[in-house]
Structure 1
Amino acid sequence: MFNSILIVCVGNICRSPTAEAILKHKLEGTGIQVSSAGLGALVGKPVDASAAEVMAEHGLALPDHSARQLTTEMLHSADLVLAMENRHLQSIFKMVPEARGKSFLFGRWLGGCETPDPYRQSRPAFVHVYNILDKSANAWLPYLKK
């Protein structure tokens, strides 16, 4: 099965860290490692304040998060790579063509839905994204838990 999951978005401050926190919580006790990175990461930045606020309302937090740039090494070492949008997958495939067999949309089991970027938008956008990510994570669980 999967021992390590890498979640990818652009800046690594909104969507991917939120998805990381959600999956870490849902996979607690399984031994599966969950991390995140960005295609154009705002390296060193913490979780976006609005994203952190919405996560906190659901009892989740990533206080030590520091945005990091996606690398080929990260893609090679992950057992499963989950991206927010189809264009992210295309960028991943350009970086590491052999990642094709293990890279999917986070919303794959919700009809292949993409997760929109809430960055610099109002709070309702962050709530909407959280809800999509939570539903997507739940849909992945049957495939992730051993």
Structure 2
Amino acid sequence: MNNILTVCVGNICRSPVAEALLKDQLPGRKVWSAGLQAVVGHPAESMACEIAAQQGLDLSAHRAQQLAGWMCAHADLVLVMEAAHQQELEKLYPTARGKIRRLGEFGPQGAFDIADPYREPRAAFEAAHAAIALGVGEWVRRIQLVS
């Protein structure tokens, strides 16, 4: 699993955080992010950047990009934030079906979605960051077991 793609809607809140956490915890692997309806060219949301910075992550260079078929084809693993994203991607890119998975697939109480904090208060961004960190931690553990 050397090429990992994270996907959310706008590519400005959740997937950039997941990308940064995965890069930090899986050095040497190519990790990037995109959005289903990306706010193309926009930086990560300031609240996401602020919370990430408190965890030692720098999102300042991030710019949103639109998801494209080649990205799913190139990725070994595509991590989405919600079950609905997984269903949408599997319809759009059926040949990538087996590698499209939910970031929260392995939660302590079962699979979970990561709610979109866009235009929500700080608490929503903090909750999203915590959920993303939980999902990333479990995926990192599993990826390291097979690598």
Which range, TM-score by smaller chain?
over 0.9
The equivalent residue for 2:87 is 90
Q: What is the CA deviation profile of residues 88-107 of structure 1, one whole-angstrom value per residue up to 9, with x for unaligned ones?
A: 11111121101111111000
CA-atom RMSD in angstroms: 0.8
Give the C-alpha shift of residue 62 in structure 1: 2.0
Moved over 2 A (4+): none
1:58 counterpart (50, 55, 60) = 55
2:76 counterpart (65, 76, 79) = 79
Q: Distance in 2 between matches of 1:9 and 1:50?
A: 16
Q: What are the residue-to-residue correspondences of 1:1-146 with 2, within 5 Å?
A: 2-28=1-27, 31-110=28-107, 111-145=110-144, 146=147
Identity %: 45
Q: Distance in 1 between matches of 2:81 and 2:133?
A: 13
Q: Distance in 2 between matches of 1:62 and 1:33?
A: 16
Q: What is the CA deviation profile of residues 30-77 of structure 1, one whole-angstrom value per residue up to 9, with x for unaligned ones?
A: x21110000000000000000000000111012211100000010111
Give the C-alpha shift of residue 142 in structure 1: 2.1
Q: Distance in 1 between matches of 2:115 and 2:137?
A: 18
Letter in 2 for 1:139: E
- The alignment's TM-score, normalised by the length of structure 2, stands at 0.95
Unaligned runs of at least 5 residues, structure 2: none
How many residues are matched? 143
Unaligned runs of at least 5 residues, structure 1: none
Q: Distance in 1 between matches of 2:54 and 2:140?
A: 22
